[in-house]
Structure 1
Amino acid sequence: CFSTRSLSSWHVACRRSSRTNECKLLIKQTPHTLDGRGTSPCQTRHLTGHASFTIDNIAEVIKHSDTSRVLVMAGAGISTASGIQDFRTPGSGLYYNLQKYHLPYPEAIFELDFFFTNPKPFFEYARELVPGKYAPDGAHFLPALLHRKDKLLRMYTQNIDSLERLAGIPDEKLVEAHGTFSTATCTICSARHTLEDIKKEIDEGTVPRCREHGCKGVIKPDIVFFGEALPDRFYMYAQDVSETQVLIVMGTSLEVMPFAGMADEVPSDVPRLLMNNDRVGSFGIRAKDVMQTGDIVASVEDLVARMGWDEDFKRLRAEWTLRTPDEGTKYC
């Protein structure tokens, strides 16, 4: 079974072998494509009996001078407003554009066996998503603003589009659970490379080759392919969930393990805010759960307004737009 998903998010699952206790990464089928845009403004929802804790309470907790450990989890839904195409939209999705490569199935471009046989389809994908073509949207600037305010404990993202970095979240505050395009590795000699080392080839639609000592091996961006382990940094979550004072979950279906499990591992008395198209995961069963459903950017702007940070938020976004963008950047 294969999932339909936005380009910017990997959907992998963890299955443990009873014989080896080894964690393997698998695709997990999801029932729909996650889309954070919504058709209506954000709405705050509570289950019966939980209405006493509201979005205003969340805002007050975050604003409080003693709060400095806000944990953010994000998925593909935070990048749809940036214009990143989805995977299978008829006539325009990535798979439609890759049909000329006669893929056996869409996800083959993310499998190592297929990559070693024919890396060309993957680098066609990479040319579409390589950092520099898209601009962060409002959802990316919320954790960046929390960082500016010394409130951000960490941001964990399923996305590989690097828009969190562009929004201003530093490396030490960001965990790209499913890898990154920012670095790359030779598949033969394991030489390390940066995005700048291979960006020209990717932009030209060619397969980047290693030049270390005449190696000529294919250089693979450091994103997680099926069957590969998640980055070691991901497992910092075990300590982060125990320390967080507020959890914010944005634009994710919470259906893919082990990423999704983080939301349930925060202590039961920690406020949890969901900003998503729909209610997902276990949200709604805890007394301090708040759900804002609908347009994610509208939900972000609503929270920022309730915290009285409107001008700071506008200033942060304005600072980004004043930078000289790479040619071809798509603005939302």
Structure 2
Amino acid sequence: MANDIDELVEMIQSARRTVAFTGAGVSTECGIPDFRSPGGFWTRYKPIEFNAYLASEETRLEAWRRYFMIYDAVSHATPGRGHQVIARLYHTGKVSHVITQNIDDLHRASGVPEAAIIELHGNGSYAKCLTCGERYELEWARAVIASESRPPYCRSCAGIVKTATISFGQPMPEEEMALARAATFNADLFLALGSSLQVFPAAGFPVMAKSNRARLVIINREPTGLDALADLVIAGEIGDVLTSVAERLWRQ
């Protein structure tokens, strides 16, 4: 792996604009499990589709119950080594944007400014009205459910309030998708970090980068369906690999 690390360091040093694309593997060392892994949350509970969420208060209550189970288990998490290296790459001008599939808000917590983070699947640290977009804190939603035994509604327009995440069947956020496309087309190095690259349309961004002649690097614990497309594939834990990259990159 040492030769691969050296090659990646050379790629980062020579790149004009690097984009980091992150998936669940960046956060697993922080105690946040990959939902799709054996024993993960989705193997125990079938995800609630967006249309089902809209259809009934009972379903929304169940969705909130499940969400708070997850949130209470992982809300203590702090940025891991991978987040910290990505943040340093941003602050030293090596990375222009972080496109993430994660909803855990750990890139922001690591010091990457919000303007440089593109959250394709939303953010799980707050809720918002599906009609007017007003933001609500999760503890407010929890209090409403506890006191009124019903899911929360917007105080401004009475619309349905939902966690600010993208559920199955929910349209992808147009603004974030446009920002991700722009960042990808401007990149000459695209780092796909800790993603299985199975969930589309998000997984289309590495393909887009490669088709635009950017070099593509995939770092993941397990093989992905896009490995054959990549210029470099490194199999390993994100924290381990990026720590090694940082040690070589900043000792020079």
**What is the TM-score when the length of structure 1 is the normalising length?**
0.63
Find the aligned partners of 2:43 and 2:144 in 1 and give their Cα distance.
20
Gaps of 5+ in 1: 1-42, 45-52, 98-104, 311-332
Note closer, same or farther for the CA distance 1:181–1:246 as it changes in structure 2 (3 Å cut).
same
Q: Quick check: 119-128 or 171-180, which moved more?
A: 119-128
Equivalent AA in structure 1 for residue 185 of structure 2:
S
Q: 1:213 to 1:257 in 2, by over 3 A?
A: closer
Greater shift in the superposed pair: 167-176 or 177-186: 177-186
Q: How far apart are 1:305 and its partner, in Å?
A: 1.4
1:93 positional shift = 4.9
2:142 corresponds to 1:202? yes
Q: Is 2:66 the counterpart of 1:107? A: no
Aligned to 2:28: 80
Question: Which whole-Å CA distance do the structure 2 matches of 1:94 and 1:274 have between them?
Answer: 25
Change (3 A) 1:211 1:93: same
Which of 195, 214, 227 is matched with 1:270 structurally? 214
Aligned to 1:123: 64
Q: Considering only aligned residues, what root-mean-square deviation do their CA atoms show, in Å?
A: 3.1
Alignment-derived partner of residue 135 in structure 2: 193
Normalising by the residue count of structure 2, what TM-score does the alignment of the two structures yield?
0.81
Name the SS for the 1:175 alignment partner: strand
CA contact (8 A) 1:177 1:231 kept: yes
Residue 13 (structure 2) pairs with residue 57 (structure 1): no
Q: 1:149 to 1:116 in 2, by over 3 A?
A: same
Q: Cα gap change, 1:209/1:294 in structure 2, threshold over 3 Å: closer, same or farther?
A: same
Q: CA deviation at 1:299?
A: 0.8
Distance 1:114 1:141 in 2: 35
CA contact under 8 A between 2:5 and 2:241: conserved in structure 1?
A: no
CA distance in 1, matches of 2:218, 2:34: 22
Instruction: Report deviation, 1:182.
Output: 4.4
1:294 and 1:214 map into 2 onto residues whose CA distance is 48
- The structure 1 residue matched to 2:233, chosen from 282, 287, 291, is 291
- CA offset at residue 259 of structure 1? 1.2
Larger Rg: 1
Aligned to 2:47, the other structure's residue is in SS state: helix
Q: Structure 1 residue 301 and structure 2 residue 243: aligned? A: yes
> After TM superposition, which residue ranges in structure 1, 4 or more long, deviate above 6 angstroms?
none
How many residues end up aligned between the 2 structures? 243
Partner of 1:171: 114
Higher helix share: 2
Identity %: 24
Unaligned stretches of 5+ residues in structure 2: none
User: Quick one: structure 1 residues 202 and 275, their matched pair in 2 at CA, closer, same or farther if it must change by over 3 Å?
Assistant: farther
Distance 1:168 1:183 in 2: 19
